[in-house]
Amino acid sequence: MAKSNKPIIWGTFAAGGEVVSLITPVIIVLILFAAIGRPPSALGYEQLHAFAAWWFGKLVIFGIVFLSLWSQAHRLRITCFDFGLRADGLVATVFYVLAGAASLWLILILSSI
């Protein structure tokens, strides 16, 4: 059977698309509250740190950020193609390497909280 990375990439694209559509707008709203100087209590240092230190909180944060990274990396690759950047192999490599590096960074950050 031919091996292909498509199911993995597509899996994160589909799952990520769903998660991003459901949760990203409300997270942006929370950050916007902080940006106008009224951070909601969950964005306070103590609360957010406690949430990220809890195993379930880590899991939620990891799920959201990991899926966002990979689904948007895949979408940015397609967007580059649509805007006329036809070096798809190079573009794909750059975005997937960036997503991989960011995922590693995410794991390091979460394991240090």
Partner 1 sequence: MSRNPYVREVSPTTWFFRMPRYMRYMAREVTSIFIGIFTVIMLVGLARLSEGQVEYENFLAALRSPVSLVFLLLALAFALYNSFTWFNVAPKAMPIQVGEELMPDMVVAGSHYVLWVILSVFVLFWAGVF
Cβ distance to partner 1 smaller for residue 1 or 111: 111
Distance CA 32, CA 44 (A): 14
Which residue type is seen at 81? F
Residue number with CB closer to partner 1 (1 or 113): 113
CA distance 111 to 100: 17
- Nearest-angstrom CA–CA distance, 69 and 33: 23
Give the binding site for partner 1 (CB under 8 A): 14, 17-18, 20-37, 39-43, 45, 48-49, 52, 61, 64-65, 68-69, 72-73, 75-76, 78-79, 82-84, 86, 102, 105-106, 109-110, 112-113
Taking the complex as a whole, the smallest distance from the CB of residue 76 to partner 1 amounts, in Å, to 5
